[in-house]
Amino acid sequence: MTEDTSPKCIIFDCDGTLVDSEEITNEIIAEMAGELGVKMTGEEATTIFVGKTLDGVVYKMRELSGNEVPEDWLERLTNKVSMAWKNELNPVEGVRELLQSLTIPVCVASNGVASHVRESLKITGLHDFFKEQIYTVSDVGIPKPAPKLFLYAAKKMGFKPSDCVVVEDSITGVMAAVSAKIKVYGLIKFYSAEELQNAGAIPFTNMRELSGLLGI
């Protein structure tokens, strides 16, 4: 009799994995970086900030500009992002069909601010797949690449880490899953298959192939 190795729970990252928010957000970060005397393109901002928390964005801007970031800068950034999301945000291609087909529990574990994560899932029509099973850095106090958020999510869902898999799109998230000793699949998007594989992920190209890879 062979042991069933298929996962019992899937933990999804949010930004870039469930919702196509990264490019929208990073275009606005690049634009507002100009206020701080920092010149960058949206593409450069994506390379620097993908998978980062908002606190991480502020820290990096302080480092790049050599100055303190004005108190209202982050608030104005989040307001601009929120407005842009309402007009432009879409689910990642194929993710709705994947979620509709799944028969095992799912949850979200994101470095994002809880209210923003919920907002992005509501705008894209994905919120009802997760309802209250949405966990963020505010629940644990330390962001990815630390493993704590994924371990917390697994515990809240009632599963051992070894019974779960993580779906990510960033090296930061992959590193967190590897540290948590949870099998991780990396969506090829901002990082190459080789980069994701070197970080410890099983790379894949689109959400439609994930069910087959997971064996469910």
Has residue 191 got a pLDDT over 60? yes
Residue 3, pLDDT score: 55
Domain-wise residue ranges, the chain? 9-20+90-214, 22-88
Taking only the tens place, the pLDDT of each residue in 72-112 is: 999 999 999 999 999 999 999 999 999 999 999 999 999 99
Sort 105 into a burial class: Cβ within 10 Å, 0-12 / 13-18 / 19+.
Answer: middle
pLDDT category, 1, cuts 50, 70, 90? very low
Nearest to 104 by CA among 18, 9, 3, 6: 9
Taking only the tens place, the pLDDT of each residue in 55-65 is: 889 999 999 99
Asked if 9-20+90-214 and 22-88 have one fold, the answer is no
| Mean pLDDT in residue range 31-38 | 94
Query: What is d(CA 136, CA 58) in angstroms, rounded to the nearest whole number?
Result: 18
Has residue 198 got a pLDDT over 90? yes
Contact partners, residue 212, CB within 8 Å, separation at least 6: none
Q: Is the peptide bond before 147 cis (omega within 30 degrees of 0)?
A: no
For residues 12-25, one letter each, b for 16 or more C-beta atoms within 10 angstroms of the residue's C-beta and e for the rest, the string is bbbbbbbbbbbbbb
- Report the chain's mean pLDDT, rounded to a whole number: 94
User: In terms of CATH architecture, what is 22-88?
Assistant: Orthogonal Bundle (1.10)
- Residue pair 208/97 in contact (Cβ under 8 Å)? The answer is yes
Taking only the tens place, the pLDDT of each residue in 118-177 is: 999 999 999 999 999 999 999 999 999 999 999 999 999 999 999 999 999 999 999 999
Tokens representing 2? 């062979």
Taking only the tens place, the pLDDT of each residue in 66-80 is: 999 998 999 999 999
Residue 4, pLDDT score: 64
Against a cut of 0.75, is the pTM above it? yes
CA 133 to chain centre: 15
CATH topology of domain 9-20+90-214: Rossmann fold (3.40.50)
pLDDT category, 52, cuts 50, 70, 90? confident
